[in-house]
């Protein structure tokens, strides 16, 4: 009787451990692609000169990551996956941290100090022409 009960508890314990591992490893991750694509719809590059193009690359590592480019032209912004010939600014970040940052922005919980902390901690790194952000700031002033 004692061995049967012990075996049953052992099987239940191992099953729970297995389910916990499966949940942790295969936990659904929101691919960052959807968030970057959503950002493309929020940028109005109407101030750009005709024929000019700016490319912001999001190089996101880890689960749900990838290389995504926002290509801004006077007529709109498109998202392109993978490598492109032109890159004006690159953002390097873990996909998980990027997703958390975007959700904080959407909830209005992000401020300048959050971006400073992410940059100082080297969670968020940039390379290239930081003047590309001017495109975003012009749109924010126009909308607000």
Q: Can you give 43-107 as a three-state secondary structure string?
A: CCCCCCCCCCEEEEEEEEECCCCEEEEEEEECCEEEEEECCCCCCCEEEEEEHHHHHHHHHHHHC
Select the more confidently predicted residue: 3 or 22.
3
Mean pLDDT of 73-83: 89
Q: What does DSSP assign to residue 108?
A: T
Residues 90 and 121 grouped into a single domain: yes
Asked if 40 and 66 sit in the same domain, the reply is yes
19 and 43 housed in the same domain: no
Q: What's the CATH code of the domain at 105?
A: 3.30.1050.10
pLDDT of residue 20 exceeding 70, the answer is no
Verify that 21 and 70 share a domain, yes or no. Answer: no
pLDDT tens digit sequence for 106-135: 888 878 888 888 888 888 899 998 888 776
pLDDT higher than threshold 70 for residue 142: no
Residue 3 belongs to domain spanning:
1-28
pLDDT band at 137 (very low <50, low <70, confident <90, very high): low
Average pLDDT over residues 66-82: 90
Does one domain contain both 8 and 53?
A: no
Residue 47 pLDDT: 77
Q: Do 44 and 20 belong to one domain?
A: no
Are 50 and 112 contained in the same domain? yes
Residues 52 and 86 reside in one and the same domain: yes
7 and 39 part of one domain: no
Number of domains in the chain: 2
For residues 52 and 116, state if they share a domain.
yes
Q: Distance between CA 93 and CA 123 in Å, rounded?
A: 6
- In this structure, are 22 and 65 located in the same domain? no
């Amino acid at each position: 009787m004692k061995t049967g009960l012990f075996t049953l508890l052992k099987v239940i314990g191992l099953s729970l451990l297995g389910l916990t591992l499966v949940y942790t490893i295969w936990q659904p991750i929101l691919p960052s692609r959807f968030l970057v694509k959503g950002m493309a719809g929020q940028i109005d590059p109407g101030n750009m000169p005709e024929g000019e193009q700016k490319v912001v690359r999001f190089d996101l590592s880890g689960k749900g990551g990838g290389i995504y480019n926002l290509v801004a032209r006077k007529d709109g912004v498109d998202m392109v996956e993978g490598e492109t010939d032109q890159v004006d600014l690159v953002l390097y970040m873990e996909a998980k941290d990027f997703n958390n940052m975007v959700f904080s922005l959407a909830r209005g919980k992000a401020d300048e100090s959050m971006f400073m902390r992410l940059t100082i901690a080297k969670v968020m790194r940039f390379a290239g022409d930081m003047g590309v952000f001017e495109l975003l700031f012009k749109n924010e002033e126009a909308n607000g």
